[in-house]
Amino acid sequence: MSDEQPIARIRMEALAAHLDGAAATWAARLGLPRDGEAQFALQLGEAGLQLAELGPQAPGPVRVDFVAGALAHRRQFGGGSGQMIAKAVGLQQGVRPRVLDATAGLGRDAFVLASLGCAVTLIERQPLIAALLEDGLARAAADAEVASIVARMQLLHGNAIELMGAWTGEPPQVIYLDPMFPHRDKSALVKKEMRLFRPFVGDDLDAPALLAAALALASHRVVVKRPRKAPVIEGAKPGYALEGKSSRYDIYPKKALGKG
C-alpha cells in the first residue's frame, strides 16, 4: 500500500452566490466538503461544472462541453464516418451499431459516435468525472444544435465490469474500451486532463477483466483504443488492428455487422 498515491483532497465551490444552493446539492451527492484546504476543487459556475487544480502554477479547469470548442469543430469538420473510430466500431452505409462505451471519461469518443448516428450507452465509474459528464449532457440537451445528438447518449454511473456482468435486455452490438494507460514516463508533459484526473482515477489495472467482461457481453465486436506502441491487453488476442499516428484500435470481432 505504501506506493499508492494519497487520495487527493477536493472541495466543492460555487463561483457565483446564486449557484450556492446547486453547489450544496452536488457536494451532498458526491460527499465533498464546502471549505477547508484542498488541492482541487469541483466548481459550479455559469458555464456548468468544472474540475480545477488549485494553486498559482495550476493549469486551467476541465469541463465537459459538447456544444462548443474542439468537439463542435470535430462534429462539423472531423471527417464523418471516414474517421478511424467510425471504421473501428463498424460504421458503414446503413449500419449504425448500438455501442456501449464502458470507459466513458469525458465522453468525447461517445459524442463522436452519437453524432454519426449511433445510440451510445456510457459507463463512468469515477464519481467526479461522471458528474462532469452528467452536467455536460444536461447543458447539451438544452442546445438546439446538439440536443438530437445527446438524445442518443445514455449515461450510467458505476463499475463497468459489474454493470456488464449484470446486464439485462438486449446486449450492445459493440463495446468500446479506452482504459487509462499506466503512466511510466515521468518526464513526459502530461496533458491537462491527465494531470487533473490521474490523482482520482489512477491506472486501469483491471483492464484484462474489463476486456473479458466486454467480450462476454458484446454481440458483434469489442474495440479497444490503445496508444500506438502499447502492448495489447492481456487475455484474448485481437483479430486485427487499425493504426493511426498516435493511437491504435484493437478489434475483437465476434460476428459481422450487417444491415437489418
Q: Is 125 annotated as a binding residue?
A: yes
Q: Is 228 annotated as a binding residue?
A: no
CA distances to 172, 246, 247, 251 from 185, rounded to whole Å, are: 35, 16, 17, 27
User: Are the CB atoms for 252 and 222 separated by under 8 Å?
Assistant: yes
The torsion angles phi and psi of 194, rounded to 5 degrees, stand at -65, -40
Return the beta strands (E) in 85-218 as ranges. 99-101, 120-124, 153-157, 174-177
Q: Which three cell numbers stand for residue 212?
A: 473479458
Closest C-alpha among 214, 227, 116 to residue 171: 214
Closest C-alpha among 210, 250, 213, 212 to residue 230: 250
Residue type (1 letter), 156: L
Residues ≥6 apart with Cβ < 8 Å to 45: 14, 15, 16, 19
Q: Give the whole-angstrom CA distance, residue 86 versus residue 197.
A: 26
> According to DSSP H, which parts of 3-69 are helical?
20-30
Q: Is 178 annotated as a binding residue?
A: yes
Q: Give the whole-angstrom CA distance, residue 177 versus residue 253.
A: 14
Q: Give the whole-angstrom CA distance, residue 215 versus residue 181.
A: 20
Q: Binding site: what residues are annotated?
A: 108-109, 124-125, 178
Q: Binding site for S-adenosyl-L-methionine: what residues are annotated?
A: 108-109, 124-125, 178
